Structure 1
């Protein structure tokens, strides 16, 4: 037993904290890490509190605070509105997207820079990819129009009606109720 004890003492040291010190070389001390994290959180909260410590007295300060909070919700709700309008009225949406496809590329770059600056860490490439995606969607518009027209032809309006063309008498005869032989036989069997 003494030999093993000496080997462990040589590798890890003879004191009780030597093992902890050796392990902390390979793994962070969780308690000390939590203390550092709490201190960082405390400093961040005190900095945030100091920012709002001055009362906003003027109407301009209140107006600017409200204005600074508008773009993110407006963009989020506007994007959701685009999805809803695409489902509710696809032709109207396609017409608007056709107009967006005509926006010149430098204007997209400018919009990308403004949005990137406002939201931070956004890249110019995303705006250009967005424009390419819109152009790719616009290519599918004729197929979408054909699909909508095909769906409109399948719409159930007044029930199944025979294709009578312009013959009014044939149309009237096709809509007149007729006797159902199966129903008559079933009613006779029940009596």
Structure 2
């Protein structure tokens, strides 16, 4: 008994576990790894929470947010308004379009660049969001394939071990209704 106590004392004694410490050299401690992962996710969520927390904003911030929401609806409604104006008063509309024709080309380029950057940034953000959604969908494909295979495998299982009608080993003559049906086809 004394020798076994000494052996266990050597391996597990004095508050240490030599076997576990040696194994951790070759394999990550799953519990510690999970705790590190939890700490990482918690820190990320805290950071996101601080980034998007609701704070009382002043009138200037609210005004700027309101102004940032105006361009897209204004351009869409303005374009539709031009069509309405062209139908209601074609002479008035023609005079305005003649004035627009006098705008110098560099000013058109500048307007195009401003609109492109404004909508381009939004398009890029939406495109990246779309890519993330596609990646998440693709990541789910193996699970869907596995589920489909499991469902397809259920087709081959007959209830209570009975052979399905027309299965190999079943005599059609034993089932008059099936024999009539097959004869009618």
Identify whether the pair has TM-score above 0.5, normalized to the shorter chain.
no
- TM-score, reference length from structure 1: 0.36
Normalising to structure 2: TM-score of the pair? Answer: 0.37
Higher relative contact order (CA 8 A, sep 6+): 1
